[in-house]
Amino acid sequence: MARTTVNAQTTIADTVRVVGIGVHSGQEVTLTLQPADPDTGIVFVRTEAVQGRDVEIPALWSHVSATDLCTMVGDPKHASVATIEHLMAALRGLGVDNVLIEIDGSEVPVMDGSSDAFIEAIDQVGLVTQSARRRWIKVLKPVRVELGSGWAELRPHDGQRYEVTIDFPDKVIGRQSIGIDLSPRVFREQVARARTFGFVKDLEKLLPMGLCRGSSLENSVAIKDDRVLNPEGLRWADEFVRHKLLDAIGDLALSGAPLLGLYRSYRGGHRMNHLTLKALLSDPTAWTLVDAPLRAAAPAAELGLGLVAPAWAAEVA
Ligand SMILES: [Zn+2]
């Protein structure tokens, strides 16, 4: 495998397709991931969305238009893309900086409710490094958001650390915590396969609202009367908190560049993830862009993100 440098930008090596149904619409959608030039970032392209024309929607926090049940970017009256978080988590988890995502519907397919199918798709073509340096958003001072009984914060830290705690009254979930230093390997092994979950009692309320129409035991862990209904059971005993971590990684990937910092949340969710990122990035004194020094690194599978603290004697851009 080719050796590479840890702070070069990456894109996918070739075009790859993913087909599936939207969890809310229940409709079939085709995603086409395409390589993109350096500094493009992650951009959705809603094909033929308005009067037969394509509409580009950057996957950025400033384009977030809804955080109920899922994260949506773009203008829902014009052209938008919903349920982007599991795909965004796969891209951030593997360290993909630049990609165009053509989509022929308004919702990213749910697949099995995790990031697994997106990882598989990206692995079919692999990643290539590009000539431009990757830049990082370095957290300079803590920001914190509180919402009801939950809170979330971003703090300065030499690495990409995530610490997530959930606390449900239901016995089947209860209180669960997880902490990771994000790298492609950790994401693949500890996070990517954790599925979304829901309570049957909530589903009964959401279905008449036109939501969760595509929801099934094929794409979510369903809980009823303190029991997991899926015959195959859980992928980990704490799959629930791992999925909340996956969501946080995906939502925070809307920063536009990887984050150097510690993200912590207690009883968080899409809204809190978004508000915390917004609190950071709308305060210019709370962050700065940095380059890492060029150095030889691990093979492509460990590209970019499994960085150790001493590497962050980074020059301020
Ligand atoms: Zn999720």
- What is the DSSP annotation of 287-311? EEEEEPPP-EEEEGGGTTT---GGG
Q: What is the pLDDT of residues 11-34, one digit of tens each?
A: 999 999 999 999 888 889 999 999
- Tell me, in angstroms, the distance from the centre of ligand 1 to residue 109's CA: 12
Q: What residues act catalytically?
A: 270
Measured CA to CA, the distance from residue 174 to residue 152 in angstroms comes to: 19
- Tell me, in angstroms, the distance from the centre of ligand 1 to residue 244's CA: 7
- Tell me, in angstroms, the distance from the centre of ligand 1 to residue 115's CA: 9
Mean pLDDT of all residues belonging to the chain: 90
Q: What is the pLDDT of residues 130-172, one digit of tens each?
A: 999 999 999 999 999 999 999 999 999 999 999 999 999 999 9
| Residues having C-beta closer than 5 Å to ion ligand 1 | 196, 247
Handedness of CA 282, 287, 289, 294 (dihedral sign): negative
> pLDDT over 70 for what percent of the chain?
90
- Tell me, in angstroms, the distance from the centre of ligand 1 to residue 245's CA: 9
Determine the pLDDT at residue 6: 64
Domain boundaries, the chain: 3-310
Q: What is the pLDDT of residues 166-201, one digit of tens each?
A: 999 999 999 999 999 999 999 999 999 999 999 988
Determine the pLDDT at residue 286: 98
Determine the pLDDT at residue 202: 87
Measured CA to CA, the distance from residue 121 to residue 233 in angstroms comes to: 25
Residues constituting the chain? 317
- Tell me, in angstroms, the distance from the centre of ligand 1 to residue 217's CA: 15
Query: What homologous superfamily does CATH list for 3-310?
Result: lpxc deacetylase, domain 2 (3.30.1700.10)
Q: What is the pLDDT of residues 100-134, one digit of tens each?
A: 999 999 999 999 999 999 999 999 999 999 999 99
